[in-house]
Amino acid sequence: MKTRRYLLPVVVGAAVAAALSCREPSPLGTVSAALIGQDSVVDSATVNPHQVPVDSLVHAGGLLTCSPLPYDSATQVIGPLGGTIQVGMDTLVVPAGALLAPVAITMVAPSDTVNRVHFAPEGLTFQQPASLTMSYANCNTLGVQLPKQIAYTTDVLVILEYLKSWDDQNAQIVTGEVNHFSEYAIAW
């Protein structure tokens, strides 16, 4: 009986230790092949430090705080040949072949202290990733050069996942690969 009572904390402790040991290293420092992608070869001569790719597991956490922009929305039919839809300073590019049939796509950028966009129809999936480019020129980066990325969020802005993203710090835009529609926001 005593053995069982002591065994449970040991098992739980081992599970927690194993989970914590799986974390990615700090995102500070040089760009590594793990950040770029497993198939990429990277050396310091080919990496533009102002356009840093960010893996979905490497993040500083949290959404950027921004000055509210005016509400904007647009609806456009995009089909198998692809297309582009823009709302405010944010752009979605759907490549040819990503959709099998024409779809009326609605993109909404609410006026908020977080730069975010909502897409409809909710749950629409792509045969190949679309690219979403969002500006953070109106956001407070606190003077920190940490890479920004696009986060998939709930309607109440709980981060569910970080998209594979590329941060162009000179232009103050971040581009992420979108596989399905929902709500997206700019995060650290």
- Overall pTM surpassing 0.75 (yes/no): no
Q: Judge if 100 and 150 occupy the same domain.
A: yes
Of 182, 183, 184, 179, the closest CA to residue 125 belongs to 179
What is the pLDDT averaged over residues 161-172?
94
CA distance 175 to 148: 9
7 three-class SS: helix
Q: Judge if 42 and 73 occupy the same domain.
A: no
Evaluate whether residue 54 is within a structural domain.
no
**Residue 19 pLDDT greater than 90, yes or no:** no
165 pairs with which residues across the strands? Answer: 54, 176
Evaluate whether residue 10 is within a structural domain.
yes
Q: Judge if 89 and 159 occupy the same domain.
A: yes
Q: Judge if 145 and 107 occupy the same domain.
A: yes
pLDDT band at 187 (very low <50, low <70, confident <90, very high): very high
- Per-residue pLDDT of 75-112, as tens digits, reads 999 999 999 999 999 999 999 999 999 999 999 999 99
CA distance 166 to 162: 12
pLDDT of residue 18: 41
Task: Give Cβ neighbours of residue 15 (< 8 Å, ≥ 6 apart).
Answer: none
